[in-house]
Structure 1
Amino acid sequence: MSSTKKRRYPTDVYVYRNKLVYWPYLGCINGKPKRGKRLILGSPDMPEGKIYQLLNQIKEARAKTIEWLLSAYMDSEKFKKLGKSTRHNRKEVYYPKIIDRRGPNNGARFGDILLNNITPAMLLRLLKTFKGNPTRNQIKTFISAAWSWGVLEYEDVPRQNPAKEVPNFEEEPRTFYITDELYRKVRRTMKPLYRAAMEIAYQCRAREVEIFALTYDDLLNEGVYLKRAKGSISEITLWNRRLRTAVAMVKSICTNPHSQHLFHEPDGSPIEPQRFAGRFKDCMRRRVAAGKISAEERFTFHDMKAKGVSDHEGQYSGHRTETGRKIYIRKAPKIKGSK
């Protein structure tokens, strides 16, 4: 590399092989100086004004990092239309993990990497630094959704979405089934609010986010109208004795007259599904510690939906596809023998 003595060029601009190039210094990484990719600007005798114009364009494009993309996506209307739990997980759980992760190669913060420099191989190596295939797949889906949105919104977002080139990590389906005996054993040790929530989740085969979204308008003459999340088909679960008892129990506990939600906090605000799921985990952990159940018997609140689907006569879950429904069937079917 050489530099001409006749002209002084801006910082990080050099004459290289008779071409004017921009070769940015990225700082010291792992004790070694690091430079970015060389970009050819043009001829060494290019007018100074043109050089600065090109540099401004390059630096503006280089500001498009993965942190910028994810942040812009989370401010978009498309993101706001996602389900509440999906928005929470992506913004509060996965976003910090992604941008603050250190790359497996040079130790650079992943949030600072430019979109133009992200390849499928780089993304795959990054995903492998996270623990658990479900987490890896959630992060990959988040990045892919943000990238696809960015391609449609911005001209300078690379057209090729690297996340789409990375295959999904294989996930072992959860097979744990809550037996009737275990259900009764755990439920009778719980506080009334938890007992009611467990029973409604079981009877309606519902997720946490669905039962805590229930309002008094959803209590119809025929039964409970459940607005299903994640694109599943909403339905009315007809009244039976157990469902009426559970709903009556909630009404006797959640009594703020200003709240429209069936389940609500004392101040009338809705119960946060993620917070409730965390409390439920703590309850189960305490019961294991007290010897009331074994570690192998501990289950999540979400397992209540799987029990409800498994025990249901038609194994109805609201899913639009057979694949989605099968995830919640945890009990082997009983089939008559051949004649």
Structure 2
Amino acid sequence: MKSNARRRKHNPRIPAHIDQGRIPAGVYFDHRGHGRWYLLHRDEGGKQHRQNIADARATLSELHRIVEQRHGIDRHSLRYLAERFHQSAQYLELAAKTRTDYDYCRDTLLELPTKLGKPLGNLPTRQFTPALVQRLVDKIAAQGTPSKANHLLRYLRRLFRWGINRGHCDSNPAAGVEQARERQQRRLPELTTIAELTKFAQQRGQRARGEKGACAPYLWIVMELAYILRLRGIEIVTLTDANSTTDGVLTNRRKGSRDNVVGWYPRLTSAWQAATDRRAAIWKGKGRPVPMHPEARPLIVAADGSELRKSSLDTAWQRLIKMAIEEGVISAEQRFGLHDLKRRGITDTKGTRHDKQQASGHRSAAMMDTYDLSVPLVPHPGDD
């Protein structure tokens, strides 16, 4: 983030061991006498005050530490380590999807409660041990989210490794910790279940935002597109007008899958039109200009008209599922994820296994064992 503060002029009276370009904002040097470093701040009435903080022998790192302590920043905490990592060039060079995953892991870890009465992010990094991290992984996995536990573990390994290499910590307590065992779920929701939940989402999406029993109005559209286009959630929220072609919808698959065009037919046209109508109404209501280029016009937008984030979609989906179970629309055993709609769409695709592979975009035929759960009809042996 760029600073609007004016760049300091070189001061020949500042001690030579200080890099003047890295002096903390608001810190100044008084050369009179033996020399003192001081801070300037204003009180509630706007009156300026001076506070001496160090003598001329202070190092640049000491000046930074003093300023951070005044702002309540603990340089030895997990929170500080994470903040430094997320500001680093190594983090900024990561793929956008990886940064999003790391942001989620950071936000989750830093606010986890501890027995000490303070969030995990406030603990000093030296208090982290393999045993502590293992308990953390086991606890989160025991809540029914082993995948989440493993995501957090991988993030901690990366975070501490970065910290060791740059002198922020001495060891990597996440190294060697056992991963949670993930159950391989291959849920295939019934078409009647999908239809009932889609209808429920469409009805509840018409309720005013904040009204009891309301859900995100875009959820039923996302469900339709996930099934019809056989896409993941992240692939749906990144669709734009550029994906709409004369022949159909051009997919934007990840993980090395091949793109294809799903031809227009009434059900797909209806879902796509509903998304564009909703977006147009939001943009008009918010007074937002319509971007000129089609790739800058996201199909699914948030309530404020901006591009919908995958994390927001995940949260809205979980709320819908919880509400549907509580109100008896579906049972707890019938619950499924957005990704399962892709599996259902691939399974329901007509044709041979090769036809289904083309529709799914998978490069490997082996992946069809995960996504195609249909039972093939084969001829009997011998003569009729």
Alignment TM-score, normalising by the size of structure 1: 0.65
- Contact persistence 2:109–2:120 (CA under 8 A): no
Select 1:298's aligned residue among 330, 335, 341. Answer: 335
Does 1:95 find its partner at 2:132? no
- What amino acid is the match of 1:92? D
- What amino acid is the match of 1:311? D
- Contact persistence 1:310–1:328 (CA under 8 A): no
Select 2:243's aligned residue among 218, 228, 231. Answer: 218
- Contact persistence 1:309–1:328 (CA under 8 A): no
Match for residue 278 of structure 1? 315
Select 1:314's aligned residue among 353, 357, 361. Answer: 357
Select 2:230's aligned residue among 192, 199, 205. Answer: 205
- Contact persistence 2:111–2:119 (CA under 8 A): no
Select 1:164's aligned residue among 175, 181, 192. Answer: 175
Give the CA RMSD over aligned residues: 3.8
CA drift of 1:285 comes to 3.6
Secondary structure at 2:330's aligned position in 1? coil
CA drift of 1:211 comes to 1.0
> How many angstroms apart in 1 are the aligned matches of 2:181 and 2:369?
14
Select 2:81's aligned residue among 53, 66, 69. Answer: 69
- Contact persistence 1:101–1:111 (CA under 8 A): no
- What amino acid is the match of 1:307? R
- Contact persistence 1:254–1:263 (CA under 8 A): yes
Distance change (3 Å), C-alpha of 1:95 and 1:210: farther
Unaligned runs of 5+ in 2: 1-58, 67-73, 203-216, 284-288, 292-296, 350-355
> How many angstroms apart in 2 are the aligned matches of 1:78 and 1:317?
34
CA drift of 1:284 comes to 3.5
- Contact persistence 2:186–2:340 (CA under 8 A): no
Match for residue 128 of structure 1? 138
CA drift of 1:142 comes to 1.1
Q: Which shifted more, 325-334 or 242-251?
A: 325-334
Distance change (3 Å), C-alpha of 1:333 and 1:315: farther
CA drift of 1:269 comes to 1.4
- Contact persistence 1:178–1:307 (CA under 8 A): yes
Does 1:180 find its partner at 2:191? yes
Unaligned runs of 5+ in 1: 1-52
> How many angstroms apart in 2 are the aligned matches of 1:137 and 1:300?
19
Select 1:86's aligned residue among 90, 98, 101. Answer: 101
> How many angstroms apart in 1 are the aligned matches of 2:126 and 2:379?
61
Match for residue 50 of structure 1? none
Alignment TM-score, normalising by the size of structure 2: 0.58
Give the length in aligned residue pairs: 274
Give per-residue Cα distances to partners, 1:83-103, cap 9 Å, x unaligned: 264144223323322xx5348
CA drift of 1:143 comes to 0.2
Residue identity over aligned pairs, in percent, reads 21
Match for residue 155 of structure 2? 142
> How many angstroms apart in 2 are the aligned matches of 1:246 and 1:65?
48
Select 1:251's aligned residue among 254, 259, 276. Answer: 276
- Contact persistence 1:223–1:236 (CA under 8 A): no
> How many angstroms apart in 1 are the aligned matches of 2:305 and 2:272?
17
Q: Which shifted more, 171-180 or 68-77?
A: 68-77
CA drift of 1:254 comes to 1.9
> How many angstroms apart in 1 are the aligned matches of 2:320 and 2:124?
44
- Contact persistence 2:229–2:262 (CA under 8 A): no
Select 2:376's aligned residue among 320, 334, 338. Answer: 334
Secondary structure at 2:260's aligned position in 1? strand
- What amino acid is the match of 1:90? C
CA drift of 1:329 comes to 2.6
CA drift of 1:237 comes to 3.3
Give per-residue Cα distances to partners, 1:25-69, cap 9 Å, x unaligned: xxxxxxxxxxxxxxxxxxxxxxxxxxxx9xx9xx99x95443332
> How many angstroms apart in 2 are the aligned matches of 1:335 and 1:78?
52
Does 1:236 find its partner at 2:256? no
